[in-house]
């Protein structure tokens, strides 16, 4: 991408974050697990712009879902790192 593309994207993202925080009073939360790095920026900008149209109660529910997805992904990663069968709940425990 041309170098000025990154500056434009950063400016757009900063403006969207500021608008979101002004509207809802907290930071923007999104789970991007499984997203390819090349899709991350577009998905992030699309999501924040779309969610700016939510009413505060609906956005609270979306944020709760995103936080659950983040926590679940981190828990699975932690369990996988500990040698547990975090991927397949039907698989036998290690050593059995």
Q: Where are the domains of the chain?
A: 3-80
Cβ neighbours of residue 24 closer than 8 Å, sequence gap 6 or more: 56, 59
Question: pTM of the prediction?
Answer: 0.74
Task: Give, in order, the Cα–Cα distances in Å from 78 to each of 3, 49, 69.
Answer: 37, 32, 14
CB 94 within 8 A of CB 83: yes
Sign of CA dihedral 71, 75, 81, 82: positive
**pLDDT by residue for the chain (96 residues), tens digit each?**
567 778 888 899 999 999 999 999 999 999 999 898 888 888 999 999 999 999 999 999 999 999 999 999 999 989 988 775 555 555 555 555
């Amino acid at each position: 991408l041309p170098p000025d593309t990154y500056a434009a994207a950063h400016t757009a993202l900063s403006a969207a974050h500021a608008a979101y925080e002004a509207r809802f009073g907290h930071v923007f939360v999104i789970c991007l697990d499984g997203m390819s790095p090349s899709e991350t920026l577009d998905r992030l900008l699309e999501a924040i712009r779309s969610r700016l149209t939510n009413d505060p109660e609906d956005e609270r529910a979306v944020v709760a879902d995103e936080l659950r997805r983040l926590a679940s992904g981190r828990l699975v990663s932690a369990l996988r790192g500990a040698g547990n069968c975090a991927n397949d709940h039907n698989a036998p425990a290690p050593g059995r």
